[in-house]
Amino acid sequence: MREERTLKKILIYLLSFILICFIVPAILTRRTASTVSQENSNLEKGQSTESTAKQENIQAEKTNYEYAKYGTITLLHKETGETEQVKLDDYLCNVVSAEMPASYEIEALKAQAIVARTYTVYKVLNKKHNNADICDDSTCCQAWISKDDRFAKWEESQRESNWQKICEAVNSTKGQIITYDNQPINAFFHSNSGGVTELPVNVWGGTGYPYLQSVETSGEDAYTQYASEVTFTQEELLNKLKEKYEDISIDFLNNDEIKILEYTESTRVKTIKFGNHELSGVEARTLFGLKSTNFEIIRDGDNIKFSVKGYGHGVGMSQTGADSMAKQGSTAEEIIKHFYTGVEIKDLNSL
């Protein structure tokens, strides 16, 4: 009997030891973990709620944004000669839809909206038209298309979503413009830089702008605007040149008669020789209808082929470059500060 009681005591002590050392701590740990998990969950909910509230406040500020000036502009329709008063951001929805494909990334569209707003304000401050702030001709100011005409060019199933996406890009950037030395910049832009943007002095002469430097952008070769070709027979080429130079003379048997003489810093053609005349790259682009001044000349029997890289004058923001950067995760601000050197994005009302 005494041995049985001793054995029971040992068993009770052993069970008590196991309970104290293993089971109780496990229960406490589980409760603590559950408490911590609940606290973390509550914290995350709180942070999520705070983040959502912050975003809603920002959106409300944008929706209720009022322009102290330039909120309404006078738009000239070049084809009819008529003018109309339009709200700035309503006008910009038409501009962005005309200038950049709706299929582009939203951050690229936002960058385009900020660039177009800046360009508009710059035009208002430096008026070119006596009876209007800006016109709808892309060769003079920037492109513009009516909502109805834009819808007619889109697939019916995509019309509403495309328009909402473009208006979101404009409205989410209300009041934002690009400045240099606290002044709106002349925000040039183009379709495709061919990988490197151009200095304005090489396109229009003058002294240029400090914020428009030559920069490189990757990924532009993935777009259809990157490469193009134009081919002329010898006779066609000569006739094109005779439209401007009646005394033009080219010995097509001599390879030195058609020759690129000088390139710009961005490898575009600066000067090119055609027989007894030397032309600037910009002049050659216009005369032969090339998409950019970044070209090579290839002789193919009796044909002369221009192999062209890029689309547009190459100055300022490249639109395909902006979309390429957005696809790689860049924000609208990062895109803008890549293409325009030393600039800041500021609220128009703060100037």
- Give yes or no for a contact between 92 and 113, defined as CB atoms under 8 angstroms apart: yes
pLDDT band at 207 (very low <50, low <70, confident <90, very high): confident
Mean pLDDT across the stretch 167-175? 98
Q: What is the rounded CA–CA span in Å between residue 44 and residue 39?
A: 9
Of 1-5, 244-248, 308-312, the poorest mean pLDDT is in 1-5
Largest CA distance in the chain: 134
Q: Which tokens belong to 251?
A: 């010995």
User: Coil, strand or helix: which one is 179?
Assistant: strand
Question: Is the torsion defined by CA of 203, 208, 210, 211 positive or negative?
Answer: negative
Place of tokens 């000239």: 76
Mean pLDDT of the chain: 89
Mean pLDDT across the stretch 41-54? 52
pLDDT band at 48 (very low <50, low <70, confident <90, very high): low
pLDDT tens digits, one per residue of 311-331: 999 999 999 999 999 999 999
- Give yes or no for a contact between 187 and 316, defined as CB atoms under 8 angstroms apart: yes
Place of tokens 């700035």: 88
Place of tokens 């409205």: 171
Task: Say how many CA atoms lie within 13 Å of 275 toward its Cβ.
Answer: 15
Query: Domain residues of the chain, as ranges?
Result: 72-187+319-350, 190-315
pLDDT band at 208 (very low <50, low <70, confident <90, very high): confident
Q: Is the pLDDT of residue 156 over 90?
A: yes
Burial tier of 36 (Cβ tally within 10 Å: 0-12, 13-18, 19+):
exposed
Which of these, 314, 311, 338, 312, lies nearest to 107 by C-alpha position? 338
Q: What is the rounded CA–CA span in Å between residue 215 and residue 175?
A: 27
Place of tokens 């020759």: 259
For residue 43, the model assigns a pLDDT of 47
Of 47-51, 118-122, 271-275, the poorest mean pLDDT is in 47-51
Which of these, 188, 179, 182, lies nearest to 206 by C-alpha position? 188
For residue 32, the model assigns a pLDDT of 46
Q: Which tokens belong to 21?
A: 């050392």
Mean pLDDT across the stretch 148-166? 97
CA distances from 36 to 31, 51, 99 (A): 9, 22, 53
pLDDT band at 206 (very low <50, low <70, confident <90, very high): confident
Q: What is the rounded CA–CA span in Å between residue 113 and residue 334?
A: 14
Q: What is the rounded CA–CA span in Å between residue 345 and residue 351?
A: 11
pLDDT tens digits, one per residue of 298-308: 999 999 999 99
Which of these, 307, 328, 113, lies nearest to 220 by C-alpha position? 328
Q: Is the pLDDT of residue 349 over 70?
A: yes
Which of these, 294, 297, 306, lies nearest to 269 by C-alpha position? 294
Q: Is the pLDDT of residue 49 over 70?
A: no
Mean pLDDT across the stretch 288-306? 96
For residue 38, the model assigns a pLDDT of 56
Q: Is the pLDDT of residue 37 over 70?
A: no
Mean pLDDT across the stretch 137-142? 94
